[in-house]
Structure 1
Amino acid sequence: MASLPLPAAKRELRRQVRKILSNISVSSATSQTLNAARALFSLPEYQAARRVSIYLSMPSGEISTAGIVHDALANGKKVFVPYTYNRSINPELKPKSIMDMVELFSTSDFDSFQSDKWGIPTPSDDSIASRRNTFGGKGRSEGVFPPAGETESGLDLIVVPGMVFDSELGRLGHGKGFYDFFFDRCAEHSTQVERPRPFLVGLALAEQVLPPDQSVPMDSTDWRLDALITGAGQVLRSK
């Protein structure tokens, strides 16, 4: 992997792991999801978090988060979920396609979501204007923060997806860059409003974690996690 240019190394690693993930049984994925969820619920950072964002999972190939969404809502946490779109107000800014986290109102709201082309539950476009954005205000942020004076914004914890992870908390996503750019914005926003940046915790099936002698190819734009929870229920923390 080291002999390939970084973009090619990332593509090749995704290809290899995608093939492995396609062969995971439903029973294995279900068992690993239960282990990972129990470990997450025991994390002090999760227990203390009042504002959390949670990725909404695909039907297969990753830890399911449906139970986590229900637990967070049942415990009175404010839950935010991903919404991706093309900028319209400032279409010249890069990247053109970005991700916000928007408020989930309730379990019935979550259960009403329709699946997108990847099978991921997604809030409807016409509901976005009524949903709070993690950066303040309602609806799309368009990549910029609202004026000062927002009394409630930011996140305490982000439950992060990925395709491949390593023991040093490196992460390789699906190649769109949505999460790394979102983390950049979270860090900037946290500085602006003088609050700690969100705690980043990844969830990984055992098949998504590289052996200790291998690492995810990364560059300066790629974020490392603060913690990684595996399908065995193991918690790896940043050193």
Structure 2
Amino acid sequence: MAFQTAKRDLRRRMRSTLQALSATAISQQSSAATTKFLSLAEYQNAKNIAVYLSMPSGELSTTGIVKDALEQGKNVYIPYIHTQEKTSVMDMFALGSLTEFESLQPDKWGIPSFLSTQIEGRQNAMEQGLDLIVMPGMAFDHEFRRLGHGKGYYDHFLTRYSNLTRKMPFLVALSLQDQLLAEEIPVVEHDWLIDAIVVGDGRYLDRRV
């Protein structure tokens, strides 16, 4: 119970911090983070990548990453939230083109997303396999722990993916400077660590070094 309370309090604190950031500051940090991310060998060598699509405010934009990946001929998968056996789950489905990306409609959180009518026949990352996932989060720490939004979508997706006995994709988080904390983020056993963090000031943290 104390653990859940700690997570809830941290989310509340982070929400307040992120709401106070200006659109200009987020735009500048998004530009710096995108430049750094696009220079990573793991990205350049990846064929299949999954990318979160950003909320209207409070997190780094992934638009530049999606556009570059599509232009480079990579297969780009984006989150799709749906109900499966009365449970809300996330899958990753392929974007067809830049035009399709730009035509996506915002969901209830203001995040561009596929409509349910657009899913049939579309490539699913669970079947195709991924080389890299760009991870969102509310906060991160220097031990590569991640605080999500509380729905468990990414942790559940990664657990399902790992059960396919396939090589795990490289997990890269994008973090605003204010989201990278000096304190430890409370986690439990099923919370996945990330492999690397790209920060909005251009810094790059790698768990392997």
Give the shorter-chain TM-score range.
Answer: over 0.9
- Counterpart-to-counterpart distance in 1, 2:30 and 2:20: 16
Q: What pairs up with 1:145-164 in 2 under 5 angstroms?
A: 153-164=128-139
The structure number with the bigger radius of gyration is 1
8 Å Cα contact 1:186-1:198 kept in structure 2: no
Aligned-partner residue type, residue 196 of structure 1: K
Secondary structure of the 2:126 match is coil
TM-score after normalising by structure 1: 0.85
Q: Which runs of 4+ in 1 moved over 6 A?
A: none
2:75 paired residue number = 78
SS in 2 for 1:81: strand
The CA RMSD over aligned residues, in Å, is 1.1
Q: How many residues align?
A: 208
- The structural deviation recorded for 1:130 is 2.5
Aligned residues: percent identity?
A: 47
Q: Which of 138, 141, 149 is matched with 1:166 structurally?
A: 141
Residue 93 of structure 2 is aligned to residue 102 of structure 1: yes
Q: Deviations over 1:54-104 (max 9, x none)?
A: 0000011000011110000001100000001111xxx27xxx111000010
For structure 1, the 5+ residue unaligned runs are: 137-152
Are positions 1:178 and 2:153 aligned together? yes
Shift of 1:51: 0.1
Unaligned runs of 5+ in 2: none
Q: Which residue in 1 is equivalent to 2:103?
A: 112
- Which SS does the other structure have where 1:135 is aligned? helix
| Equivalent position of 1:200 in the other structure | 171
- The offset of 1:135, in angstroms, is 1.8
